[in-house]
Amino acid sequence: MTLYTDIPTRSEIDSLWQDVAPAAVSIYLETTPASSGEAERIAYKNAVREALAQLGEVGKEDLAGLTEELAVLDDEGSEEFWRHQARSLAVFAGPSSLRSYRLPNRLKPAVVTGTRFFVKPLMRALTFPQAAFVLALAQGSVRLLEAVPDAPPREVRVPDMPSDVASAVGKSSIKDRAPVRRVQGTEGQKLRMAQFCRQVDSALRDVLPGGGVPLVLAATEPLEGIFRAHCRYPDLVPYGVPGNPEGRGDGELVAEAREVLDRWHADRLAEEKRTFADRSEQGRTSVDVAELALFATRGAVDTLFVDIDAAVPGSVDEFGEVTFAGDGPGSVVDEIARRAWLSGARILAVRHEDVPGGGDVAGTLRYAPTA
């Protein structure tokens, strides 16, 4: 079973956060990879009805356009789409546009309407990607596995992938003692491994999607170190599955790879928190919502921790001043995240307990604010 994902690029998120529409609908649904799609399709219909009911006064033309766009995923030609899902589905629709993303993260169902899209939950897929690839690399074999939650591993066919070190360099064995440009023995074997790793890396570039999807390496030394030295994939996880992958099942390798991913995510978050603590000593952090609204408006936020479930009713004006409301459609935290992202800040969409200071939002600043 394959997990079908569409991880948005930075430019796509830019577009979502910049769009202003007379009627903007954001829908998040839980989905299941093994499902036929019928339950998800029904949930989508219900969400569309809820969204249309939420809308206030909208022009007849805009309402007709929005209704038509939302119907694109519910016509007779959408069965294939609903059969191929991940763990969550995000849909963003306006009177003249519809965008959808199948996400590997489990997100809370939500229906939000307004003049801007509700983008913040989408950031979870970029902060902690749950889908990954595992490269099982040995001198005598290579295989690439897709590792996704709630689904068995799947071997990915990679065109032009070499099958082993010896055949990759045109030898029957890499243990022969014939000189290779005056290099032989152990040095000659390492040279051939490097040639092999370069071929593997080249083949992977046509298959791996990028966009923050991690690659976990399962290999032993010296092959592990050699591959890392020659790999150009930017999202290679810095530590891998230990032990020789040959003779080990796909399920075993992927299970260990998931442990590696969990450790990697935890280490990255811990490092971000240490950086926050260091910046706090320099006077370059804030945990105050009103302050961060001002800093985000001025482009002063470097990294923003955001509680993925936080909602602080209110609005932020063009100067960054906050007006809090007891209840209402706007969310100050979402607007802070939007302004910070569009100014080039990194957004870490985390659970409440992982926000420094224990609030809804926290940020490191590019410079210490002046009094």
Half-sphere exposure at residue 314, Cβ-oriented, CA atoms within 13 angstroms: 18
Q: Which long-range contacts (CB under 8 A, 24 or more apart) does 318-321 make?
A: 319/294, 320/293, 320/294, 320/295, 320/296, 321/293, 321/294
Task: Answer yes or no: is pLDDT of 210 > 80.
Answer: no
C-alpha triplet 271, 275, 281: angle, nearest 5°: 150
pLDDT one-digit tens code per residue, 218-234: 999 999 999 999 999 99
- What percentage of the chain exceeds 70 in pLDDT? 92
Return the residue matching tokens 């791996």: 208
- pLDDT for 328 equals 61
Residue 99: which pLDDT band, with cuts at 50, 70 and 90?
very high
Question: Which domains are seen in the chain, by residue range?
Answer: 10-127 (3.30.960.10), 132-259 (3.30.420), 282-365 (3.30.1330.30)
CA distance 13 to 8: 7
- pLDDT for 352 equals 93
Task: Answer yes or no: is pLDDT of 93 > 80.
Answer: yes
- What percentage of the chain exceeds 90 in pLDDT? 67
Helix (H, G, I), strand (E, B) or coil at 61: helix
pLDDT one-digit tens code per residue, 250-267: 999 999 999 999 999 999
pLDDT one-digit tens code per residue, 33-63: 878 889 999 999 999 999 999 987 888 999 9
Element holding 86 (H helix, E strand): none
Cβ(298)–Cβ(267) under 8 Å? no
Give the single-character DSSP code of 208. -
Beta-carbon contacts of residue 315 (< 8 Å; ≥ 6 apart): 322, 323, 325, 328, 330, 332, 335
Task: Answer yes or no: is pLDDT of 327 > 90.
Answer: no
pLDDT one-digit tens code per residue, 278-326: 999 999 999 999 999 999 999 999 999 999 888 888 999 999 999 998 7
User: 193-202, 224-233, 246-255, 326-335: lowest mean pLDDT where?
Assistant: 326-335
| pLDDT, average across residues 190-202 | 94
C-alpha triplet 272, 350, 269: angle, nearest 5°: 25
Strand pairing partners for 185? Answer: none
- For the CA atoms of 62, 49, 119, 315, what is the dihedral angle to 10 degrees? 70
User: 31-35, 203-207, 267-271, 353-357: lowest mean pLDDT where?
Assistant: 31-35
User: 141-150, 215-224, 321-330, 340-349: lowest mean pLDDT where?
Assistant: 321-330
CA distance 113 to 326: 18
Task: Answer yes or no: is pLDDT of 171 > 90.
Answer: no
Give the single-character DSSP code of 49. H
Count helices and strands (H / E) in the chain: 11, 14
Element holding 47 (H helix, E strand): helix 38-54
- pLDDT for 1 equals 43
Give the single-character DSSP code of 42. H
Cβ(162)–Cβ(142) under 8 Å? yes
CA distance 340 to 326: 24
Cα end-to-end distance, the chain, whole Å: 58
Q: What are phi and psi of 338, to 5 degrees?
A: -60, -50
3-state secondary structure 161-200: CCCCHHHHCCCCCCCCCCCECCECHHHHHHHHHHHHHHHH
- Reported in sequence order, the residue ranges of the chain that DSSP labels E, i.e. its strands, are 24-30, 88-94, 97-103, 110-114, 132-138, 141-147, 154-156, 215-218, 285-286, 301-307, 314-316, 322-324, 346-350, 361-365
Predicted TM-score (pTM) of this structure: 0.81
For 63, 189, 274, 348, the CA distances from 291, given in Å and listed in that order, are 37, 59, 21, 18
Structure-block tokens of residue 131: 């889908």
Beta-carbon contacts of residue 63 (< 8 Å; ≥ 6 apart): 23, 52, 55, 95
- Number of other CB atoms surrounding residue 229 within 10 Å: 10
